[in-house]
């Protein structure tokens, strides 16, 4: 089938299209309602189907002859460990882990926070929650205690699952003190914390609250999959919005499973039995979808890599893994390819490995910049595919649908909308724009399976943030355009969200944190271009009058504050002290213009600016950076 036909079918006959895809999975009861609408007017896929995602991802394969195939490969250069789990092994481990968390009071619909490094127990914990019909919420290990505490208060979990430590290249990061601090900060009190002790650093346990993972698991009995409805939530994943309060994206079991399974063939061109590797972290959406769920739902072998693209031990780390496990499709963030390119520009390391298994390279998380694209194309004789994603959708909104029709690549473009996504470019008044005109990217409702159906506990925020700007459409928060061939180009966020090393962060939240500093009267944070990380935050701060501490001290304390409040992953390193901030006459800070000045882009002085002279002041200060 051609892409055009597949796409048209997905839009013109969406229910029968997705019903057909849903038949590729084993349901306990096939859904009668393919697409329905709730009392809030929100669409749900496969609402009344009876299923269990863990059954579809593990038990189904064990029952159908795939039990001995490797399901999960754990490769950890930072600890010198390698371990493989067959589908049977993984099913058994997950069933026991589900028994353990059940013993600790978790039942269907309860929330479980998972704050873990990249170890197999993280994957096992996620699948164990799915097995029980509990809702997991994985929090990325690079987040600091206050971020974890906000998520605890919002998700109100019954238990938290964590590990004693994570390892960042050669540094051991103790997770337990961060967890203890978060539990203290949170108003919601959890019953239990189940802690996986890693030998690199043993955690001190709190009597009565903490449970030793390995001991508890040993004595637990395996449990079967609990049937859930298609519209029951599988997980909540928090992502940055424009304010300090993260948004709990809710993903439902039914639509998620169907879209995941479909994407493995249509986007990634993989078959059951193939080895697929998403070099991401289980704390991010890419990790949820393409380290854990999609490859397993499709019967592939997935890889959990506890390392970095460089320094573990060198820029050949990825190529070693690809050759060792015969990876067919590799997916990571452009920042990782840039890090490798920087260390090994000539690609000498690539030559050390047999990469003949590798058929396609994928990138997402930020735009794949043309120089990095060209480098990849030059060094590898395989298609290099950029595809556009959001935590909210859980899978690519636009991609080269390589499993349907391999289309010619245009560097800088995410190619074409994935089936089910009816993408429009709109001006600020909701008028559709023509080819090559840049505007807001919106997606016509209903969104296809797997996309968020609400913000956890806050349907009004879901509606106001995504659905009300252009009635009948989902507002993506990204800007871009279609060219004359229907190729989509993503030009960046239209709000205060930035992407640092493929990690989504809120500059609004950073401003809220800076504003808590005693010496600061006013501030703004913008995301500026960075050769390695794509974007990094840059702060501008006006000091209160009478402040006696030095500028340097203030700058250092802001770096520290950001590490304590958000975590090292914020990569907040620099503040420019200014006398004034450029604003419109109505008082809105002109962040976009400031960003353009820092990045050396051409800019138009906004007609609404209050005092254009401030832009020159900023330029002068930046010149002294």
Residues that bind ligand AMP (CB under 6 A): 239, 285, 364-367, 386-391, 414, 477-478, 490, 493, 499, 504
Residue number, 192 or 493, with CB nearest to ligand AMP: 493
Which residues, in sequence order, are CB contacts of 300 under 8 Å at separation 6+?
264, 270, 271, 272, 273, 274, 275, 276
From start to end of 383-533, where are the E strands?
384-386, 398-399, 416-417, 423-426, 439-444, 473-482, 488-493, 497-500, 503-506, 520-530
CA distances 15 to 442, 449, 614, Å, are 21, 10, 55
Distance between first and last Cα of the chain = 56
Shortest distance, position 233 Cβ to ligand AMP, whole Å: 18
* Three-class secondary structure of residue 31 per DSSP: coil
Quote the CA–CA distance of 142 and 313 in Å, as a whole number: 21
The distance of closest approach from Cβ of residue 504 to ligand AMP in the complex, given in angstroms and rounded to an integer, is: 3
Instruction: Classify the C-alpha dihedral 580-582-587-592 as positive or negative.
Output: negative
Q: Which helix (H) or strand (E) holds 541?
A: strand 534-543
Question: What's the min distance (Å) between Cβ of 514 and ligand COA?
Answer: 18
The residue sitting closest to ligand COA, measured at its beta carbon, is 142
Smallest distance, ligand AMP to C-beta of residue 347, A:
23
Of the listed pieces 52-60, 187-195, 304-312, 481-489, which binds ligand COA according to CB under 6 A? 304-312
Residue 388 interacts with which of ligand AMP, ligand COA, none, CB < 5 to 8 Å by class: ligand AMP
- Nearer residue to ligand COA within complex by CB, 286 or 452: 286
| Residue 537 touching ligand COA (CB under 6 A) | no
> In this structure, are residues 250 and 239 in contact, taking their beta carbons and an 8 Å threshold?
no
Q: Which is nearer to ligand AMP, 299 or 480 (CB)?
A: 480
Could you say which of ligand COA, ligand AMP, none residue 298 binds, taking C-beta under 5 to 8 angstroms by partner kind?
none
Query: Quick one: which segment of 128-136, 237-245, 436-444, 564-572 binds ligand COA (CB under 6 A)?
Result: 564-572
Coil, strand or helix at 346: coil
CB atoms within 10 A of CB 214: 11
Choice between 329 and 364, CB closer to ligand AMP: 364
Q: Quick one: what does residue 73 bind among ligand AMP, ligand COA, none, with the CB cut-off 5 to 8 Å set by partner type?
A: none
**H or E element in which residue 260 lies:** helix 253-266
Q: How many residues bind ligand COA (CB under 6 A)?
A: 23
| Alpha carbon 262 to its chain's center | 19
Element (DSSP H or E) covering residue 564: helix 551-565
**CB-wise, 182 or 505, nearer to ligand AMP?**
505
524 binds ligand COA (CB under 6 A): no
Smaller CB separation from ligand COA, 148 or 451? 148
C-alpha 203/C-alpha 187 separation (Å) is 23
**168 forms part of the interface with ligand COA (CB under 6 A):** yes
Q: Return the beta strands (E) in 116-242 as ranges.
A: 135-138, 159-163, 165-168, 171-174, 192-196, 210-212, 228-229, 233-239
Closest separation in Å from C-beta 445 to ligand AMP: 18
Applying CB under 6 A, does 571 fall inside the site for ligand COA? yes
Residue selected from 90, 310, 355, 615 as contacting ligand COA according to rule CB under 6 A: 310
Distance of closest approach, residue 456 Cβ to ligand AMP, in angstroms: 15
Instruction: Give the phi and the psi of residue 216 in degrees, each rounded to 5.
Output: -65, -35
Out of ligand COA, ligand AMP, none, what residue 367 binds, judged by CB under 5 to 8 A for its kind, is ligand AMP
What is the closest distance, in whole angstroms, from the C-beta atom of residue 72 to ligand AMP in the complex? 23
Of the residues 10, 280, 390, 453, which one makes contact with ligand COA according to CB under 6 A: 280
Q: Alpha-carbon distance 378 to 373, whole Å?
A: 9
H or E segment to which residue 362 belongs = strand 360-363
Binding partner at 308 among ligand COA, ligand AMP, none, C-beta below 5 to 8 Å by kind: ligand COA
d(CA 178, CA 191): 18
Is residue 536 part of the contact set for ligand COA (CB under 6 A)? no
Q: How many Å apart are CA 191 and CA 208, to the nearest integer? A: 9
* Window contacting ligand COA (CB under 6 A); options: 232-240, 303-311, 438-446, 450-458: 303-311
C-beta of 6 vs 344, nearer to ligand COA: 344
Q: How far is the CB of 292 from ligand COA (least distance, A)?
A: 14
**Cβ 237 to ligand AMP shortest distance, Å:** 9
Q: DSSP letter at 197?
A: P
From CA 73, how far away is CA 84, in angstroms rounded? 5
Chosen residue from 31, 246, 255, 365 binding ligand COA by CB under 6 A: 365
Instruction: By CB under 6 A, tell whether 568 contacts ligand COA.
Output: yes
Helix or strand run (H / E) with residue 70: strand 70-76
CA distance 308 to 319: 12
Q: Which residues bind ligand COA (CB under 6 A)?
A: 141-142, 166, 168, 173, 280-281, 284, 286, 308-310, 332-333, 335-336, 339, 365, 501-502, 568-569, 571
């Amino acid at each position: 089938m051609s892409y055009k036909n597949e796409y048209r079918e997905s839009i013109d006959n969406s229910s029968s299209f997705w019903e057909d895809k849903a038949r590729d999975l084993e349901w306990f009861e096939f859904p009668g309602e393919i697409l329905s609408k709730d009392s809030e007017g929100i669409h749900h896929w496969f609402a009344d189907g009876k299923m269990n995602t863990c059954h579809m991802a593990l038990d189904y394969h064990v029952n159908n002859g795939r039990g001995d195939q490797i399901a999960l490969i754990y490769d950890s250069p930072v600890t010198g460990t390698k371990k493989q789990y067959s589908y049977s092994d993984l099913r058994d481990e997950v069933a026991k882990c589900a028994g353990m968390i059940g013993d600790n009071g978790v039942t269907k619909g309860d929330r479980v926070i998972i704050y873990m490094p990249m170890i197999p127990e993280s994957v096992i914990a996620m699948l164990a929650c799915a097995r029980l019909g509990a809702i997991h919420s994985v929090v990325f290990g690079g987040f600091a205690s206050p971020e974890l505490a906000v998520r605890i208060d919002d998700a109100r979990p019954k238990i938290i699952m964590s590990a004693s430590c994570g390892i960042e290249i050669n540094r051991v990061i103790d997770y337990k003190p961060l967890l203890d601090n978060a539990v203290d900060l949170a108003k919601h009190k959890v019953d239990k914390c189940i802690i996986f002790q890693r030998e690199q650093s043993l955690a001190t346990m709190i009597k009565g609250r903490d449970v030793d993972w390995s001991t508890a698991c040993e004595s637990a009995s395996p449990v079967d999959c609990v049937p859930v409805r298609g519209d029951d939530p599988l997980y909540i994943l928090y992502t940055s919005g424009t304010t300090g309060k993260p948004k709990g994206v809710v993903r439902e079991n039914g639509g998620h499973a169907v879209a995941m399974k479909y994407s493995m063939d249509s986007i990634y061109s993989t078959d059951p039995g193939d080895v697929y590797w998403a070099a991401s972290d289980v704390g991010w959406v890419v990790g949820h979808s393409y380290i854990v769920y999609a490859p397993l739902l499709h019967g592939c072998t997935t890889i959990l890599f506890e390392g970095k693209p460089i320094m573990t031990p060198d820029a050949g780390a990825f190529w070693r893994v690809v050759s060792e496990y015969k990876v067919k499709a590799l997916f990571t963030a452009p920042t990782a390819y840039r890090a490798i390119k920087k260390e090994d520009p000539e690609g000498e390391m690539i030559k050390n490995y047999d990469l003949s298994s590798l058929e396609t390279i994928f990138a997402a998380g930020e735009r794949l910049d043309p120089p990095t694209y060209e480098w990849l194309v030059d060094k590898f004789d395989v298609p290099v595919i950029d595809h556009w994603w959001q935590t909210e959708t859980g899978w690519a909104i636009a991609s080269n649908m390589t499993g349907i029709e391999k289309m010619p690549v245009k560097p800088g473009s995410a190619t074409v909308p994935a089936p089910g996504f009816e993408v429009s470019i709109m001006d600020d008044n909701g008028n559709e724009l023509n080819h090559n005109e840049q505007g807001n990217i919106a997606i016509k409702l209903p969104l296809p399976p797997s996309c968020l159906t609400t913000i956890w506990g806050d349907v009004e925020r879901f509606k106001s943030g995504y659905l009300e700007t252009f009635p009948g459409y989902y507002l993506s928060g990204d800007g871009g355009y279609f060219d004359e061939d229907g190729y989509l180009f993503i030009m960046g966020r239209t709000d205060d969200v930035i992407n640092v090393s493929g990690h989504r962060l809120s500059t609004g939240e950073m401003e809220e944190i800076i504003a808590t500093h005693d010496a600061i009267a006013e501030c703004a944070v913008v995301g500026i271009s960075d050769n390695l990380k794509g974007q990094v935050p840059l702060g501008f701060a006006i000091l209160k009058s009478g402040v006696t501490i030095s500028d340097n001290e203030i700058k250092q304390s802001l770096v520290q504050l950001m590490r304590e409040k958000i975590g090292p992953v914020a990569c907040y390193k620099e503040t420019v002290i200014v006398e004034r901030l450029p604003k419109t006459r109505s008082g809105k800070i002109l962040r976009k213009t400031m960003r353009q000045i820092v990045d050396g882009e051409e800019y138009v002085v906004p007609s609404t600016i209050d005092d254009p002279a401030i832009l020159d002041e900023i330029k002068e200060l930046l010149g002294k950076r």
